[in-house]
Amino acid sequence: MSSGRWDRGRIAALAPDAAAATAAVGVARPAKWSGTGCDAETVWGECQGSGKSVYRSSAELTGPAFRCSCPSRKIPCKHVLGLLLLWSDGTVEAGARPGWVAEWLEQRRERAGRAQERKAAGPKARDPKTAERRERRVEDGLAELDQWLRDQVTHGLAQAEKAPYGLWDDAARRLVDAQAGALSGQVRALAAIPRQPGWPDRMLEEYALLRLLVQAYRRRGELPAGLRETVRSRVGFTVAQDDVLRDGERVRDRWCATGSRDSVQDQLTTRRVWLRGRETGRPALVLSFAAPGATLDSSLAVGTEVDAELAFYPGAQPLRALVAERHGPAVAAVPGGTSVAGFLDEHAAALANDPWLERWPATLERVRLARGEGGALHVVDEAGDALPLRMADPWRLLAVSGGGPVAFAGEWTPDGLRPLAAWQADEGAVLL
């Protein structure tokens, strides 16, 4: 491998999921590629797809940033990852950039320049009357939601078992009209609760949390500042990034990226990257968003650690953050973690601050896979404490662990623990 080229572990860590990482290996065959080349900043090439399709793929190494003409919504897609694997192996030779690569880079520079101009100009002054009108619309929308929740409980849950999707979608649309967009997503999610044994309890819990949020918003003037910001955020009020960078709590640490997950909703791709502080043990969530064809932030690769200062969004349980300043390059690292009991204590404390938490990061040390009651998979620590796993395909995790203890990261949800990554002595970070 040529000096300065990334190793395969670093490239695998860029994959949005395990499926993309696996597919990239199949694409990383020189016979499938033509017109490949690289320079100090960029790698490019054209990949033969199925049929007559030819996909143009490129990667800007300094971002990093990625582009491919294939229809996949994953960023980076398997073609970009396969190209980078070939480059890592030394198969891609240095050359002059073709026009389509130079044009893409120029467009990126223009967008970055416009962003700097907007930042230098400062935020636009907020119109107090506009803010007041929105507050009134949200209050009216939450009053309607409160009545809807009362009706669901009054009529009983029997109708919810076989209710059409429209029951939830209509209520969610009214919340969108009331400019309470975050709440609309929570209402739509009610339709996806599995109608299996115990589902009425789960449905009532969700109804109760929604009503608690409605009541908290009505009494927001009586709440502590952090909790008030949490309630506003859960309803749908946003905080500008400039405000977070200026006023948010700053924490410097060596932050290890423990997991990443992409999701697509309404043509918008969202990437969640979980971080854990080496010294503070504090979790953080960095979000990035991309419209169709745009590039997601890939600067925080799973399995790497960076010395950085984060700026946290306000809230009773500050979790979401922005990378305010980096103090060095990212390096490969295994995150520090906790036992199962330690994780449950962390989660309980977080729920006490923010009862509407939908997910919480778990970073566990020296856990093994085991079968629980009914054959379901669990992770078990050295003390014998266990957490249930939520996963459709366990084979990759089984292969990585080989029956031995591993460092493990995942997302804890009401349905169980969703695996994100594991660390194996020889392979390093492996996406799950």
Examine the domain organization and report whether 346 and 419 are in the same domain: yes
Tokens for 410, please give them.
């995942």
CB 217 within 8 A of CB 277: no
Give the per-residue pLDDT at 363. Answer: 96
Answer whether residue 359 shows pLDDT above 60. yes
Residues written for the chain? 432
The domain tally of the chain equals: 4
Q: Estimate to the nearest angstrom the gap between the alpha carbon of 368 and the chain centroid.
A: 25
Examine the domain organization and report whether 115 and 174 are in the same domain: no
Residues 6+ apart with CB under 8 A from 155: none
How much of the chain exceeds pLDDT 90, in percent?
Answer: 54
Assigned domain for 225 exists: yes
| Buried-exposed string 43-52: b where 16+ CB fall within 10 A, e elsewhere | bbbbbeeeee
pLDDT band at 1 (very low <50, low <70, confident <90, very high): very low
pLDDT band at 122 (very low <50, low <70, confident <90, very high): low
Domain limits for position 92:
8-121
Q: What are phi and psi of 84, to 5 degrees?
A: -65, -35
Beta partners for residue 368, in sequence order: 380
Examine the domain organization and report whether 289 and 305 are in the same domain: yes
β-pair type (428-431, 386-388): unpaired
Task: Single out the residue in 272, 306, 332 at which a domain terminates.
Answer: 332
Examine the domain organization and report whether 314 and 360 are in the same domain: no
Answer whether residue 320 shows pLDDT above 90. yes
3-class state of residue 42 by DSSP: strand
What angle do helix axes 199-218 and 128-155 make, rounded to 10 degrees? Answer: 150
Examine the domain organization and report whether 19 and 84 are in the same domain: yes
Examine the domain organization and report whether 152 and 200 are in the same domain: yes
Nearest to 73 by CA among 268, 286, 261: 268
How much of the chain exceeds pLDDT 70, in percent?
Answer: 96
Examine the domain organization and report whether 115 and 218 are in the same domain: no
Kindly report the pTM of this predicted structure.
0.78
Mean pLDDT over 360-377 rounds to 87
Give the per-residue pLDDT at 2. Answer: 42
Nearest to 359 by CA among 332, 393, 320: 320
CB 313 within 8 A of CB 321: yes
Cα(423)–Cα(400) distance, rounded to whole angstroms? Answer: 8
Cα(265)–Cα(347) distance, rounded to whole angstroms? Answer: 27
Angle at 235 between CA 249 and CA 291, to 5 degrees: 80
Q: Estimate to the nearest angstrom the gap between the alpha carbon of 268 and the chain centroid.
A: 13
Q: Estimate to the nearest angstrom the gap between the alpha carbon of 283 and the chain centroid.
A: 13
Mean pLDDT estimate for the chain: 88
Assigned domain for 3 exists: no
Among left, alpha and beta (phi > 0; psi -120 to 50; other), residue 303 is: left
Examine the domain organization and report whether 144 and 50 are in the same domain: no
Mean pLDDT over 295-300 rounds to 80
The tens digit of pLDDT for each residue in 30-70 reads 999 999 999 989 999 999 887 788 999 999 988 788 999 99
The tens digit of pLDDT for each residue in 20-30 reads 888 999 999 99
Examine the domain organization and report whether 169 and 106 are in the same domain: no
Sheet of 377-380, strands arranged across: 386-388, 377-380, 360-371, 406-413, 416-424, 428-431
Examine the domain organization and report whether 13 and 115 are in the same domain: yes
Assigned domain for 106 exists: yes
Tokens 């999701």 — which residue?
Answer: 263
Cα(238)–Cα(343) distance, rounded to whole angstroms? Answer: 29
Mean pLDDT over 272-291 rounds to 93
The tens digit of pLDDT for each residue in 393-422 reads 788 888 888 878 899 999 999 888 999 999
Examine the domain organization and report whether 80 and 22 are in the same domain: yes
Give the per-residue pLDDT at 297. Answer: 80
Examine the domain organization and report whether 297 and 355 are in the same domain: no
Assigned domain for 2 exists: no
User: In this structure, what DSSP letter does residue 149 have?
Assistant: H
Q: Estimate to the nearest angstrom the gap between the alpha carbon of 72 and the chain centroid.
A: 18
Task: Single out the residue in 186, 219, 235 at which a domain terminates.
Answer: 235
The tens digit of pLDDT for each residue in 246-276 reads 999 999 999 999 999 888 776 788 889 999 9
> If you count DSSP H runs as helices and E runs as strands, how many of each does the chain have, helices first?
13, 16
Mean pLDDT over 350-368 rounds to 94
User: In this structure, what DSSP letter does residue 222 have?
Assistant: G
The tens digit of pLDDT for each residue in 134-144 reads 889 999 999 99
pLDDT band at 432 (very low <50, low <70, confident <90, very high): confident
Assigned domain for 1 exists: no
DSSP per residue, 327-373: -S--EE-PPP-B-HHHHHHHHHHHHHH-TT---EEEEEEEEEEEE-G
pLDDT band at 108 (very low <50, low <70, confident <90, very high): confident
Cα(237)–Cα(179) distance, rounded to whole angstroms? Answer: 9
Task: Say which residue, 320 or 181, is predicted with more confidence.
Answer: 320
Tokens for 108, please give them.
């990126």
Task: Single out the residue in 202, 235, 268 at which a domain terminates.
Answer: 235
CB 178 within 8 A of CB 137: yes
